[in-house]
Amino acid sequence: MTRKRVLSGIQPSGKLHLGNLVGALQNWVSLQDKYDCFFFIADYHALTTGYDNVKALPGYIKDVAIDLLAVGLDPKKCVLFKQSDVTAHCELHLLFSMITPLSWLERVPTYKSKIAELKGKDLGTYGFLGYPVLQAVDILLYKPAFVPVGEDQLPHLELTREISRRFNHFYGDIFPEPKALLTHVPTMPGLDGRKMSKSYGNTIALSDTSDDIKKKVNSMITDPARVKKEDIGHPDVCTVFSYHKIFNQAGVPAIEQECKEASRGCVACKKEFLSHLLEILEPIQKRRREIETDENKLHDILADGAKKAKSIASTTLKEAKEAMGLIS
């Protein structure tokens, strides 16, 4: 029986962190055993908002590639590639741009919210408005059954299906209507309790050393009302407690009780969380060290992935060009 196909992508916007791990990457790793998986680094997408400063981009692309392998994506089980290595993405983007109504793009909720979030940056560009068209291309070129994404990406997936329907309506049945594979995860709080995000500087990166992580966790603020260990605690306002809920579910009832009756100190509580976290991160750190010593291998993995991606993408592109009257 042939496996159903799954595809997803991630933007290279810096080193990946715990939020990415729990929100997406752990899921991708488990999907590679069940599906025909394609995962890619969306470097063109990074240019839609980062076009004015590309100095860091090569490093970001490399960091993400290493992170993907370090978390356990296995090139023997899935196809890993870089978007810009597969020129079919550009060509199908041009074709889709012919049929995508501007009004569809202007009403995508991420369009206005990103502009508001990055105010001060000129996002009045053709490329930025076309972000979801490019995403539709990324997806439809590979005709996947499922696209694992977080909730924030659902509007992009809906637009992908709309573009697919519109294309098929004009030119015949070429594209599928892929479904989201929703990753239900708690939002990962950052060290300061706000959402974990590179732009807040509150992350634990997958590439942090165990020492860095210890320092970060030890300097976290817990329950501000707990000055002394004898003060009773309020776990619900404590980010360390939120982390226990994510990384140490079995321990949660006892921690909650001991915190509330002041029989547990914050230092010991952090230590317990750290041991659970490092158990997850140390194998990732070890794989990272192996990959970092072999740059050629990293290059070969992406080259091989691009070759596999191209063979599928170019077939789909040819179908689309024929359907649109460009090849007879």
Judged by the rule CB under 6 A, the positions of this chain that interact with ligand TRP are 8-11, 42, 45, 135, 138-139, 147, 149, 153, 156
Among ligand SF4, ligand TRP, none, what binds residue 138 when CB lies within 5 to 8 Å by partner kind? ligand TRP
Determine the size of the site formed for ligand SF4 (CB under 6 A): 14
Angle between helices 131-140 and 154-171 (to 10 degrees): 70
Helices (H), the chain: 18-20, 26-31, 43-50, 57-70, 88-99, 102-106, 109-117, 126-129, 131-140, 154-171, 210-218, 239-247, 252-260, 266-292, 295-323
Q: How far apart are CA 83 and CA 8, in angstroms?
A: 11
Token pair 């914050």: residue? 266
Cα maximum dimension of the chain: 81
Among ligand TRP, ligand SF4, none, what binds residue 238 when CB lies within 5 to 8 Å by partner kind? ligand SF4
Catalytic residue among 62, 77, 121, 198: 198
Q: Is 222 in the site for ligand SF4 (CB under 6 A)?
A: yes
Q: Which of 226, 246, 302, 316 binds ligand SF4 (CB under 6 A)?
A: 226
Sort residue 54 into left (φ over 0), alpha (ψ -120 to 50) or beta.
alpha
- Smallest distance, ligand SF4 to C-beta of residue 225, A: 9
For residue 172, say whether it is annotated as part of any ligand binding site: no
Say whether 114 is catalytic. Answer: yes
Q: Which two tokens stand for residue 124?
A: 């009045």
Sole window of 100-108, 233-241, 279-287, 317-325 interacting with ligand SF4 (rule: CB under 6 A): 233-241
For residue 308, say whether it is annotated as part of any ligand binding site: no
Q: How far apart are CA 168 and CA 247, in angstroms?
A: 45
For residue 229, say whether it is annotated as part of any ligand binding site: no
Say whether 195 is catalytic. Answer: yes
Q: Which residues of 287-305 are buried (b: 16+ CB within 10 A; e: fewer)?
A: bbeebeeeeeeeeebbeeb
Catalytic residue among 4, 34, 112, 195: 195
CA neighbours within 13 Å on the CB side: how many for 145?
Answer: 9
Q: Is 277 in the site for ligand SF4 (CB under 6 A)?
A: no
For residue 208, say whether it is annotated as part of any ligand binding site: no
Residue 174 burial by CB count (10 A; 0-12/13-18/19+): exposed, middle or buried?
Answer: middle
Catalytic residue among 114, 121, 216, 245: 114
Q: Which two tokens stand for residue 144?
A: 């996947």
Say whether 112 is catalytic. Answer: no
Q: How far apart are CA 323 and CA 276, in angstroms?
A: 54
Q: Is 266 in the site for ligand SF4 (CB under 6 A)?
A: yes
Sole window of 9-17, 86-94, 142-150, 237-245 interacting with ligand SF4 (rule: CB under 6 A): 237-245
In the bound state with ligand SF4, the residue whose beta carbon lies nearer, of 45 and 264, is 264
For residue 152, say whether it is annotated as part of any ligand binding site: yes
Q: What angle do CA 163, 164, 170 make, to 5 degrees?
A: 90
For residue 196, say whether it is annotated as part of any ligand binding site: yes
- Smallest distance, ligand SF4 to C-beta of residue 26, A: 24
Q: Which of 69, 180, 191, 240 binds ligand SF4 (CB under 6 A)?
A: 240
For residue 72, say whether it is annotated as part of any ligand binding site: no
The answer to whether 7 and 38 are in contact (CB under 8 A) is yes
Residue list, annotated binding site for L-tryptophan: 138
Binding site for ligand SF4 (CB under 6 A): 222-223, 226, 233, 235, 238, 240-241, 255, 259, 264, 266, 269-270
Q: Which residues are catalytic?
A: 114, 195, 198
